[in-house]
Structure 1
Amino acid sequence: MPRSSPHLPVAARVNRVMLSVCLALLPGVIASYWFFGWGVLANLALASATAVASETLMLAIRRRPIRKFLLDGSALVTGLLIGLSIPPYAPWWLVVFGASFALIFGKHLYGGLGYNPFNPAMLGFVVLLIAFPAEMSAWVNPSADLDQTRLTAYSQGRIGLEELDGLTAATPLDHVKTELSRQQTSQEAAASMASGPVAGFAWDWINLAFLAGGLWLLLRGIIRWQIPVGFLAGLGLMTLLFWLGDADRHPGLLHHWFSGATMLGAFFIATDPVSASTTPRGRLYYGLGIGVLVYIIRSFGGYPDAVAFAVLLMNICVPLIDHYTPTRTYGTGPRQP
């Protein structure tokens, strides 16, 4: 028997979308583990467990069905994004605080999934970055022989940052920014760090892995192309503009595209379906705005990476963007001026 009309596609269920995002993160997780070791997996496990526990607690307090909302997978995705954003081997309490803040203050105090105006993972990350800048900048050196005993002691809070001398190193973004402030050229700054094929040892491969996962999400229709394309285009246009003006003072396109959290931000963070713009043109403008802000903060602000700040700033603009980029209502003509 033929199905009756209307033949409209059914939107993907939340848990299937979240499962797809988790699977798409796997290449980046594997690459991060390859270069940074077990600390990556420890962060992911602790952040995910804390996120799920915080979700359970808040659902119980709010008298919402726990099983139904836990199985949608949104808390797990938030925990994974927090775990990937925090430096490996960070003290355990840092991971717990960031993940719990993201779920409690970034999600449930606004009413839960679908009501939060800000990306919960980035809200938790920014709070950590502002409150604990030293711990949040202690990335281990992927090219060094890691002393697992000292790293374990640091992650358990038994020793401080001063005990990790020689095991930590600046990220490519931080290193280049520091060297530029010392009046070196961008070429000299890049040559003075352990470089990889594109933008810096380890980080280029990690970004390529997240790019692969993001492209898989696009092919499956889990995310729309406008936000990642707008993000990378906005960042790329700003980079080319300043690079063409003065290549000695401003690193090139590949440095910005394949350093830091660029690909993770473009495909997994900025595309959050709740806090991002919801109209086709609006998503493109939203992505462009994030890319432009990332470049401005990276180049002229106080933080070497800027994805979290850029996403949160554009989250504020989403109601305005959606208001001025409406889609045509089905069955009606163009809106009259």
Structure 2
Amino acid sequence: MRDVLIALLPAGLASLVFFGWRAVWLIGVCVGAAVLTEYLAAQFFKKKNYLNDCSAVVTGVLLAFVLPPSLPLWMAALGAVFAILLVKELFGGLGHNIFNPALGGRAFLLASFPVWLTTWTRPFDAVTTATPLALAKSGQLLDAVSRATVQASAAGQAVNYWDLFLGNVAGSLGETSALALLLGAAYLLYRQVIDWRIPLGYLGTVALFMFFAHENVAFHLLAGGLLLGAFFMATDYTTSPMTRRGKWIFAIGCGILTSVIRLWGGYPEGVCYSILIMNMFVPLLDRLDEAKSK
């Protein structure tokens, strides 16, 4: 968990640069609410060593990273309480939860406050705008397979690949900077905290799917929360398979669902729901591999 927090530092610093002190407040509220909820739940269920693993802190940071920077702080706190209490503790605590707590908290907030969860601000000036994926979904982004710039027809905006790579685009707090996320991912891979099969299978599936669908592969890999989800959400030990074959199936399933939702769903981003849906199949994947090994 401490390695994960270290790996999330670059994305946290990028969010501070692009969205200002609002990023600090949002992360602080999510972490504070998550830790407090875990403490109170531990007291109620009479559990010991409830904060030593830092899992509540990781959940709080990840939840903040998948929320719009302009989200009211009380909503962020409510999402953290839901993530810890309902998604994690009521299933038995760390190691027993079926769904990723941070993504569960985000899904709850999206269902409860859809307008706030789909209101985005532009970096630096906090002007309301659409995300690159939302512009693409609405047909306001022109095809840019062979060009260095993705031109947006709305309000004279221009989203180029350099901005997508650095993070100078609208989006959730910690998902915009591909550079920061890749730095954190490299640290996790170097420390062997995560298995390379899940992010490779996830990103590779999305890339192949978009290629055969004649979509802009680079755009879909860089835009939205795909990198954050592939390296920091889908690789969660508790909610991902334990076997190699299970990891590949899980990752490919996440990639297919993400691509289908992005291309044909009513929602421009599919990472959150794709991982949560595949979380449900993890016990089955583990049991099937366990049965075949006997």
Paired positions, count: 280
1:196-235 per-position Cα deviation (integer Å, ceiling 9, x unaligned): 3357462596022101101210111111111111110111
Q: Deviations over 1:99-124 (max 9, x none)?
A: 00000000011111111011111111
Q: Which residue of 2 aligns with 1:98?
A: 79
Is residue 123 from structure 1 mapped to residue 87 from structure 2 by the alignment?
Answer: no
On the 8 A contact 2:262/2:270 being kept in 1, the answer is yes
Q: 1:202 aligns with which of 159, 168, 171?
A: 168
**Which residue number in structure 1 is paired with residue 172 of structure 2?**
none
Structure-1-length-normalised TM-score? 0.79
Partner AA of 2:168 in structure 1: A
**Aligned amino acid, residue 47 of structure 2:** R
Residue 231 of structure 1, aligned match among 202, 213, 217? 202
Task: Tell me which moved more, 190-199 or 96-105.
Answer: 190-199
In 1, distance between residues paired with 2:109 and 2:53? 26
1:176 aligns with 2:136: yes
Unaligned runs of 5+ in 1: 1-17, 147-166, 244-249, 330-334
The reply to whether residue 325 of structure 1 matches residue 289 of structure 2 is: yes
Query: Which aligned pairs between 1:1-337 and structure 2 lie closer than 5 A?
Result: 18-65=1-48, 68-142=49-123, 145-146=125-126, 167-179=127-139, 185-187=142-144, 190-192=150-152, 193-198=157-162, 200=164, 202-203=168-169, 206-243=177-214, 250=215, 252-326=216-290
Give the conservation status (yes or no) of the 8 Å contact 1:102–1:121: yes
Q: Conserved in 2, the CA contact under 8 Å of 1:83 and 1:95?
A: yes
8 Å contact kept, 1:207–1:261: no
CA distance in 2, matches of 1:112, 1:205: 30
Asked if the contact 2:246–2:285 (Cα under 8 Å) also holds between the matched residues in 1, the reply is yes
Identity %: 36
CA distance in 1, matches of 2:36, 2:208: 42
Q: Secondary structure at the match of 1:195?
A: strand
Contact 2:198 2:250 survives alignment (8 Å): yes
In structure 2, distance between residues paired with 1:101 and 1:205? 25
Q: CA deviation at 1:45?
A: 0.5
Name the Cα RMSD after superposition. Answer: 2.0
Confirm or deny: 8 A CA contact 2:205 2:252 kept in the other structure: yes
Contact 2:161 2:219 in 1 (8 A): no
Paired residue secondary structure (2:121): coil
Report which of the two structures shows the higher radius of gyration computed on alpha carbons: 1
Which one-letter code corresponds to 2:50 in the other structure?
Answer: F
C-alpha distance in structure 1 between counterparts of 2:77 and 2:88, whole Å: 16
Structure 2: gaps of 5 or more residues: 170-174
Equivalent-residue separation in structure 2 for 1:288 and 1:323 (angstroms):
18
What whole-Å deviation, never above 9, does each CA across 1:93-147 have from its counterpart, x for those lacking one? 11011000000000011111111011111111001112111111122112x634x
TM-score (norm 2): 0.90
> 8 Å contact 2:150–2:160 — kept in the other structure?
no
CA distance in 2, matches of 1:175, 1:327: 46
What amino acid does structure 1 have at the position aligned with 2:274? A
User: How far apart are residue 186 of structure 1 and its match?
Assistant: 2.9
Contact between 1:21 and 1:77, CA under 8 Å: does it hold in 2? yes
Aligned to 1:153: none
Q: Which residue of 2 aligns with 1:247?
A: none
3-state SS of 1:276 partner: coil
